[in-house]
Structure 1
C-alpha cells in the first residue's frame, strides 16, 4: 500500500510539474480604464452623443473631432478610436462584452460606481455591506495584490499605480505592504532619472480635477518601476475617461480613451523588447462600471441611488447600462480568439481568480461567507 501511495503521489507531482511547465506567463499586468463604455470600445464614437449643443468649447473643435473619429461603420470607428485593441488584441488576444453579439459582461456589486467596482475586481467578490461609498476607507478585504505579495516567491514583486487618490485605501497599502502610487503622489526618484522628470512635470502641469491626476503620469511611473526590476503583478488604474465623462465632455472622453489605447500599445511593444517580459507577460484590461446610455445627461453618470417618489415613498433607481462592462486579455497563454460572440457571461468578480490562475495559483478568497468568482477558463489554453 505504501509503494502504491508513493506511486500515485509521484504521478501527481509529475502532472503538476508538466502543467507548470506549459504555462508561459510569469508577469500579469492588470489595467483598468475607468468608466469606459462597451459601446465605444466595440463600435467607436456614438452618434447619439456626437453633437453636444450645450458644450460651447466642443463646437469649436467638432470638425476636427469628426474628421479624426467618424467613419461609416462601427468596425472602422472602433479601430480608429482604439487601434491597439483592434489591430493587436483583436487578432492575438480576446475581447468580451459586445452585447450586440451576445457577449455579456456584468458587475456583481449593487452600487455601480468606482470603489465597489475596483474592490470587486481586486478581491473577487462584491462586499455590499461594507464597501458602500467612494470614501477613503481602508478596504477590510484582502486583494489579489496583497494575497500574492504574501507569498515568499512574490514578496516585493507586486505594485499598484492609480490616477485616483483613493487607490491606497482600496488596496489597503498600510496593511497589505503593497506599494501604491496614486493621486498626485510623487514617485521614488531613485528608480530612474525619468521618474525625477515625471515628478517635476506632475507639479507643473495642472489636472482638471482635485482627486485624479493625468494618466500619463500613472503609466509613466508604472513603466519605470517595471523597467527597474522584473515585477510579477502590476495593477495600473487609468482615470481620465470617467472624469471627462462626468464633466459631460464626450470629445475629451473619447480622446482620453484613444490616448490610453496608445499608452497600453507602447507598454506592450516595450514588453516584447525586454527579455524579462517578452513572451512571459499577460495583460488583462477591463473597466470598473458602465455608464448611462439613454441620453446625453444619463451618459455622464452611473450609480445606484435612492430617491423619493411623489407620494413620499422611498425608491431605488440606477442608470440603464451602468452595470455593463467589458474585458480584454492578451498573452502567451491566451488563445487568439479575437472578439468573442456569445460565450460565457463574465463578471468583474472573476478577474482576481483569473489573474491568479495565469500565475499558476488557485485563488478563492479567504473571507468569511464570500467566495471569489471562478477563473475565466476560456481565456487560457
Structure 2
C-alpha cells in the first residue's frame, strides 16, 4: 500500500514538472558578437603578405612584422588571433575558410553595414527597405526583438555596439531592448563603480571617428552589464576593424583584431566562471560584410561594386556548438544562418 501511494505521489509530481528538455532549453544563453568588416582572409591566414609590407598602409613595417608576420598562414593566424586559434578552435566550429572550400556569403546585394546587420539579426535580406547606413528605424523585427516579445525572454535581452546606428538597426523604441551604442553612457540608478568610471573616461578619451566609439568602451560596458544583469541573449558589436580599414591603416586594423581576440577570451573566461552562464552558453561570432582584395587598395572598401565584399565567416563555440573545429570540407552557408542558430539555441 505504501509503495502504491509513493508511486502515485511521484506520478503527480512528475506531471507538474517541465520536461528535462524544456528546462535545458530555458537554461541556454547566447552571446552574439560581430567584428565589423573583418575579412575572412585575416581570420584564416593572418596578416596579408602584400599589405603588411606596404608603407602606404603601414607606418612601421618592421614593428608590425615583428608582431604578426610568420612564415606560414597557420602561424600568422595564431599570432594575430591567439584565442581563436589555440582555444576557440577546440571548442566549436569555424566556417568560412574559402581556401579549404568552406564558404559563407551575404544574401543581400548591398554588401555594407546596415544591410549586413539587418541580415544577421533578422535572418533575411531586405534590399527594398535597407539600402543605406542612414539612421532609419528598422521596419524589420530582429531575433532580439522577437525573443524579447516573449514571456520567457522579456527583459532578458540587451545590445552593445560601437557604431551609433545600432539603436536604429535594433529599433530600440519599438523593441524596448536596451541598446548602449555610439557614445551612450551606462544609465540607471544602480551603476557599478566601473560603469561610473567608464562614463567619465568615455567623455575624456576622444574617438578618431564621429559616429563610432572605441571598442574598449563597448566591451567593458557589455561585460559589466553581463556580470550585473545576466541577460539571456546579448549582442556585442565591435567596430574598430572596419573604421581603421576605411582609414587605410592596416597596422591599426591588425592591432584592433588582435585586441578584439583578447576581448573574446575575456568574455569566454567570464562565461565559464559565472554560475549563470557556465556550460550553458553559446557564442556566435561573425561579420557584417567582407572587403576587397584585388586591386590591393580595395581592402579598404566594401559595397556591391567591390568583388569579395559579400564573403563572410562564422564561428560558433560553447554549449550548442558542433565539435567540428575548422571546417575543411566544401560547404555553402549564408549569413542568414546566424538568426536561425540563435532561435534554435533559445527556442
Could you state the TM-score of these two structures normalised by the residue count of structure 1?
A: 0.84
Q: CA deviation at 1:19?
A: 4.0
Q: CA deviation at 1:191?
A: 3.1
Q: CA deviation at 1:63?
A: 1.3
Partner residue of 2:243? 243
Give the count of matched residue pairs.
331
Task: Tell me if 1:117 matches 2:116.
Answer: yes
Partner residue of 1:31? 33
Q: Deviations over 1:226-252 (max 9, x none)?
A: 111221100000000000000001110
What is the aligned-residue RMSD (CA, Å)?
1.7
What does 1:40-51 correspond to in 2, within 5 Å? 40-51=42-53
Give the conservation status (yes or no) of the 8 Å contact 1:159–1:235.
Answer: yes
- Structure 2 gaps of 5+ residues are 1-14
Instruction: Find the aligned partners of 2:255 and 2:180 in 1 and give their Cα distance.
Output: 24
Partner residue of 2:176? 177
Instruction: Find the aligned partners of 1:299 and 1:277 in 2 and give their Cα distance.
Output: 37
**Any runs of at least 4 consecutive aligned residues in structure 1 with deviations exceeding 4 A, and if so which?**
21-25
Change (3 A) 1:274 1:143: same
Give the conservation status (yes or no) of the 8 Å contact 1:25–1:331.
Answer: no
Give the conservation status (yes or no) of the 8 Å contact 2:55–2:61.
Answer: no
Task: Tell me if 1:293 matches 2:280.
Answer: no
Q: Deviations over 1:283-323 (max 9, x none)?
A: 0000000000113311100002xxxxxxxxxxxxx111101
Partner residue of 1:365? none
Instruction: Find the aligned partners of 2:26 and 2:326 in 1 and give their Cα distance.
Output: 23
Partner residue of 1:276? 276
Instruction: Find the aligned partners of 1:80 and 1:23 in 2 and give their Cα distance.
Output: 37
Give the conservation status (yes or no) of the 8 Å contact 1:24–1:279.
Answer: no
Task: Tell me if 1:234 matches 2:221.
Answer: no
- Pick from 53, 56, 61: which aligns with 1:54? 56
- Structure 1 gaps of 5+ residues are 1-12, 305-317, 362-381
Could you state the TM-score of these two structures normalised by the residue count of structure 2?
A: 0.92
Partner residue of 2:321? 334
What does 1:120-269 correspond to in 2, within 5 Å? 120-188=119-187, 190-269=190-269
Instruction: Find the aligned partners of 2:119 and 2:162 in 1 and give their Cα distance.
Output: 18
